[in-house]
Chain A
Amino acid sequence: MIRFLARRFLWFGVAVLAVVTVSFFLMRSVRGGPFSTERALHPAIEHNLAARYHLDWPLWKQYLQYIGPLNLDEGRARLLGGDGSDLFGGVLSGDLGPSYRYRDYTVNAILAQSLPVSIALGALALSWALLLGVAAGIASALLRGGALDAVVRLTATIGIALPNFVLAGLLIVALCFTSTWLPPAGWGRLEHLVLPAFVLGAPFAAYVARLTRSGVLEVLSQDYVRTAVAKGMPPRIVVFRHVLRGALLPVVSYMGPAAAGVLTGSLVVEKIFAIPGTGTHFVNSALNRDYTLAMGVTLLYTVLVYTLNLVVDVAYTLLDPRISLDEA
């Protein structure tokens, strides 16, 4: 277990370093630098800006400053920035630097503001996807061949195929404009969450329903389930205690990719429903060439996805004693 974790963390470090390095050099290779606008700046202002963001340093030194916990700044940022903080400790010490577009905001501050929103949305989407997906999957497997089964399978197939922004458009027309049950956009009240979370979770609910259905069907034909039924257990207990534990293993392992998918999907969903989350900031930063912010979000999401995958893998071994992490 420990060896496994250590190895995973090592490769994780490599992945993160690769992302940071490649995006840093891509970012710096951009012609004209991050502050080139249509309006020509006064040379003195340009000089000060370059000094504040260390753009006048050689590239290797900028890179070390960006990643390293070492602060090569020698107080220059404080002198020029004038905000009294020791700007920019480097990515490794958790400081993602200043935003290039939002004056007086650091990337960390923007993320701290927007991440809770995105996480609330994502968690809600995932949990309803899990709940509905598992319930529909179980029902459809137990009533195999029936009308409900057919409906669930059809809905699941459509749900997987339909992109979330298409679903969002259809639902907005139906639920916000044709009938005015839900608000089409915004953030702050509970009903603002309903539609985005539904749309965001829909494809995953569909996939979970499929996985659960095939899982349950497979476990139902196992000997130990027959034994449990034969010794007179009530069906409810057989399903919940014996069948589900085995049947949900694929669902658990799907949670890693699903979480990544929810983060990705939130980019679009946040844009559609005007939700002030990290996804919106990321899209805007990409359009505004706010490189540090774009890179900060990329890094953060890389870390999040990796951690979630790790948690899923560990949970998997806890649920299924046949699987050991060290062999993998």
Chain B
Amino acid sequence: MSLSTQRRALELSGALDTALAEAASVRGQGLWQDARRRLHANFTARWSLRFLLVLTFVALLAPLWPLPSPMALELAEVPQAPRFIPPWLPGWKHRVTLHFHLTEPVESRELLFRADSALAGIVTLATRVQPEVFHGSVEGRLETIEVALPYREEFDPQRGSNIEELVRTQLAGKIENGRLLLRNGGAVALAYAGVTAQNGYWELNRIDQLLLDLRYNLFQFHQTNSWLGTDAKGRDLLARVVWGSRVSLQVAVAAALVSLVIGVVWGSVAGWLGGWVDTLMMRVVDVLYSIPFLFVVIFVITILSQYRAELAENFGIGHLTAFFAVLGMVTWLSMARVVRGQVIALKHQDFVAAARLLGASHTRILWTHLLPNCLGVVIVYLTLTIPSVMLFEAFLSFLGLGVEPPRVSWGLLASDSLEALNPLATTWWLVLWPALAMGSTLLALNALGDGLRDALDPKLRS
């Protein structure tokens, strides 16, 4: 072999190497990578996704945030007018309330106020915290004096506080024959009636309770002021919007699960088997489709609410769970149709025939060959189903048929805001903030759905 040919061979192999290296560096793009890239390139979809992720984060960790209570606190006897409190002023706090029962009518207002300050003094001595005093009346008659402390674990008798004993000891020296003796003469007949601690939440599940404990440990009893104002019952609007978003989230998850499980199975089985099974199954979908669902759902919810006790006792199904299940029923129809169409389009393709020739079973073909190919459509339809179901929930809660107080959802907020509206005091913030929350979430979901549809559409592939 001459020197030149050797060199040529070397050059060639070098060229081959570079070519090979080049080839190795080129990556084929799968559908999903491509979709991700295109979704990322879509400005609106990208920001919608980020917004939704932040919303989910905030909603999931709702008990952790140092927000005021989303629940009505039974404090003042006069319902609070909704206030648009400037953000720098403090709002309502969670409370521990000591109740005193007035056993006889108080003779004068002056005496009452002196009794108030005496009780406040006693409580301050026992707890070293300055309390607020409220009066409770039944049918216009003054019945109770309530001494309220900010909620702290050390005052909560359910968490082992001895606040009652402390107050009783302090009281013992000042009460004679059931009358509280006041410093400058005079007495008020009253009896200690017990203590209630409102930590400001409905019954939470264990994880939420843990988050709430974590919150108390992190922030003690600091909390935000009422940044978005309060509603007609003095409840903090921001807290209600945040806690309300959880219901929307739950509904989204429930709807997604039902339409995934029932819709996908129904549609794929109908599409794959074909023939009379397909006709029958799709006829069922058609019949259900032609019924105006909101009406049927309302009807079913009304009936279900009659069985609330039975459902809770025998099956452990709460009202909320039943509500979500009923909502889920509505969502799977269009999913079933779409999946069926996709399966029919796919099932005559060569790769399915190949799988069949190799002896794959029906379930295997469906599960490993057809359904992954439907995934794009399924995802797109999920993102389109979820906003409509959220809307549906808001609708029902708005009508008073969905989530019930003290829990809160965006639909309830909207209906509360409309109830509070009156020509004398325009409570615009009650309307505006929930509207913004709901509108931007639905907008983001729609935008994300559109973006996903474009991203997963192979025809638009660049």
**Using a CB-CB cutoff of 8 Å, which residues 416-462 of chain B contact chain A?**
417-418, 421-423, 426, 428, 431-432, 434-435, 438-439, 442-443, 445-447
**Using a CB-CB cutoff of 8 Å, which residues 274-328 of chain A contact chain B?**
282-283, 286-287, 289, 294-295, 297-298, 301-302, 305-306, 309
Q: Is the CB of B290 within 8 A of A158?
A: no
Q: What is the CA–CA distance of A172 and B418 in the complex, to the nearest angstrom?
A: 9
Any A CB within 8 A of the CB of B291: yes
Q: Is the CB of B299 within 8 A of A157?
A: no
What are 26 inter-chain pairs, A to B, with CB distance below 8 A?
A18-B287, A31-B306, A32-B306, A161-B387, A161-B446, A163-B439, A165-B398, A166-B439, A170-B431, A173-B431, A173-B432, A177-B423, A178-B426, A184-B421, A260-B292, A271-B399, A272-B418, A282-B295, A286-B301, A287-B400, A298-B292, A298-B299, A301-B295, A302-B290, A302-B295, A309-B290
A-B contact count, CB below 8 Å? 141
**A286 partner, pick from B290, B302, B398, B418, beta carbons under 8 A:** B302
In this complex, the member of B292, B296, B411 whose beta carbon has the largest number of chain A beta carbons within 10 angstroms is B292
**B442 partner, pick from A32, A163, A306, beta carbons under 8 A:** A163
Any B CB within 8 A of the CB of A5: no
Any B CB within 8 A of the CB of A26: yes
B293 (CB) vs chain A CBs: closest residue = A264
Any B CB within 8 A of the CB of A135: no
Q: Is the CB of A26 within 8 A of B303?
A: yes
Q: Is the CB of B421 within 8 A of A172?
A: yes
* Contact bitstring A168-181, B, C-beta under 8 A = 1, else 0: 11101100111010
Any B CB within 8 A of the CB of A142: no
Q: Which 8 interchain pairs have the tightest Cβ spacing? A: A169-B431, A161-B443, A161-B442, A298-B295, A166-B435, A177-B426, A15-B287, A264-B294
Q: Give chain A residues whose Cβ lies under 8 Å from the Cβ of B414.
A: 163, 165-166, 169
Q: Knowing A166-B439, A173-B428, A184-B421 touch, does A267 contact B302 (C-beta < 8 A)? A: no
Q: Knowing A173-B431, A177-B423, A268-B395 touch, does A294 contact B299 (C-beta < 8 A)? A: yes
B306 (CB) vs chain A CBs: closest residue = A30
* Chain B positions near chain A (C-beta within 8 angstroms): 283, 286-287, 290-292, 294-296, 298-303, 306-307, 387, 391, 394-395, 398-401, 411, 414-415, 417-418, 421-423, 426, 428, 431-432, 434-435, 438-439, 442-443, 445-447
Q: Give chain B residues whose Cβ lies under 8 Å from the Cβ of A301.
A: 292, 295
Q: Give chain B residues whose Cβ lies under 8 Å from the Cβ of A287.
A: 302, 400-401
Q: Is the CB of A15 within 8 A of B290?
A: yes
Q: Give chain A residues whose Cβ lies under 8 Å from the Cβ of B395.
A: 163, 165, 264, 267-268
Q: Knowing A11-B287, A169-B417 touch, does A264 contact B292 (C-beta < 8 A)? A: yes
Q: Taking the nearest CB of chain A, how far is it from the CB of B326, in angstroms?
A: 12
Interface size class of A (residues with CB under 8 A): 35 or more
Q: Give chain B residues whose Cβ lies under 8 Å from the Cβ of A15.
A: 287, 290-291
Q: Is the CB of B446 within 8 A of A23?
A: no
Q: Taking the nearest CB of chain B, how far is it from the CB of A317, in angstroms?
A: 19
Q: Give chain B residues whose Cβ lies under 8 Å from the Cβ of A177.
A: 421-423, 426
Any B CB within 8 A of the CB of A27: yes
B421 (CB) vs chain A CBs: closest residue = A172
**B439 partner, pick from A162, A173, A268, beta carbons under 8 A:** A162
B435 (CB) vs chain A CBs: closest residue = A166
Any B CB within 8 A of the CB of A14: yes
Q: Is the CB of A29 within 8 A of B299?
A: no
